[in-house]
Amino acid sequence: MIISTERLTLREWRDEDRAPFAAMSADPAVMQFLRALPTRQDSDRWIDFQIAHQAAHGFGFWVVEDRATGTFLGATGLFRVTFDAPFTPAVEIGWRLARAAWGQGIATEAARASLAFGFDELGLDEIIAYAAPANHASQNVMRKLGMIRDEASDFDHPRVEADSPLRRQVMYRLARGAWTNGAMP
């Protein structure tokens, strides 16, 4: 499966994506607000999880590459939240981009394509996103996507250590009706 935008291709994972994903995941700036993938094995397990999720559900995080050059830029997509929380079951949108791809609207462009797939192809009623409170860049992308902040649903991530600054997460939501009605800025 391939999703194309003006500048990007979102596609399934290949073995040759493992090295650039591991290099990106070793960048402290990229991982500042994400759960660490400190080893190549951890990075490969994350990719394997995405491949398995794609096989089981028909969607997951896809590779984001430059459409003109084929350069690996990162990953974005949708996945089912795999932990228990007051807002589950839910499908989340997320992104992780190499630092060289920052500040160019790539996260927003790739995420819009993922939202279109989720609402238009999968028929989802709602897609959520969450981030650490200090992750202003991701929250800015969420707002650009038309997602609405839901303070009442902020939560402590059960897979993050209790003393970690990443434990608390702020919640954003986008309903299919808002997507369909063109509520995106």
Helix 136-144 and helix 106-116: axis angle, to 10°?
Answer: 50
Can you name the residues that pair with 24 across neighbouring β-strands? none
* Beta pairing, strands 155-156 & 168-175: antiparallel
Percent of the chain with pLDDT over 70: 97
What are the tens digits of pLDDT across the range 19-51? Answer: 999 999 999 999 999 988 999 999 999 999 999
Helix 18-25 and helix 40-57: axis angle, to 10°?
Answer: 120
Rounded Cα gap, residues 58 and 54, in angstroms: 5
Rounded Cα gap, residues 46 and 136, in angstroms: 24
- Which of 55, 53, 39, 46 lies closest to 74, judged by CA? 46
Tokens describing residue 14: 């290949």
pLDDT for the residue numbered 185: 45
Q: What is the mean pLDDT of residues 92-101?
A: 97
Instruction: Quote the Cα angle for 127-132-119, to 5°.
Output: 10
What are the tens digits of pLDDT across the range 45-88? Answer: 999 999 999 999 999 999 999 999 999 999 999 999 999 999 99
Rounded Cα gap, residues 23 and 98, in angstroms: 9
pLDDT for the residue numbered 34: 93
pLDDT for the residue numbered 180: 77
Res. 134: pLDDT tops 90:
yes
The model's pTM is 0.94
At residue 60, what is the residue type?
G
